[in-house]
Amino acid sequence: MNLRNLILAADDLKTKVVPVKEWNLELIVRELSGGERDEVFRLHGQSADIKAVCRTIELGAVDEEGNRVFEDGDAEKLAGKSDAALTKLYSEIMKLSGCGIDKFEGEATAGKSLEITQSSGKNTDSCISSELEPTLS
């Protein structure tokens, strides 16, 4: 196999098991692909709200075989789930994707929308060149 084929065939997306006490289970999350990350950041550019958070989880939650747990369109249903659980999963997926999101101090608060900002307070399209910090508003 040539180098190109080796690279394209490589299973290079990291995964992590995340305990979600609010749902009484553990869920595997995975790093987003470059294309998935771009999609999520386009959503953040439109509005850094729960839609982008839930789409990230929709793309990044996987089962033991690496298949997505959620289907396209489940983000709207996920938006009605525990804010603390969504925040935890979102943060882990973004960390695995190299986006430098630090863990919240304490739990997320119900009814607060999650926003993603650069340290400067501006939305960003790249998680490689800048640190992202989740904030509750």
Q: Residue ranges of the domains in the chain? A: 3-136
CA–CA gap between residue 119 and residue 130 (Å, rounded): 8
pLDDT confidence bin for 84, thresholds 50/70/90? confident
Q: For 3-136, CATH number?
A: 3.30.2220.20
Candidate from 32-36, 56-60, 68-72 with smallest mean pLDDT: 32-36
Angle of helix 50-60 relative to helix 83-96, nearest 10 degrees, comes to: 60
Structure tokens at 50: 């729960």
Q: pTM score > 0.85 for this model?
A: no
Please tell me the predicted confidence (pLDDT) of residue 30. Answer: 94
CB 75 within 8 A of CB 113: no
**Cα–Cα distances in angstroms (integers) from residue 29 to residues 11, 42, 96, 130, in the given order:** 15, 21, 8, 22
Per-chain mean pLDDT for the chain: 75
CA–CA gap between residue 123 and residue 7 (Å, rounded): 32
> With b meaning 16 or more CB within 10 Å and e meaning fewer, what string describes 59-76?
bbbbeeeeeeebeeebbe
pLDDT value at 104 more than 80: no
pLDDT in tens, 38-66: 888 888 776 547 888 899 999 999 999 99
Please tell me the predicted confidence (pLDDT) of residue 89. Answer: 93
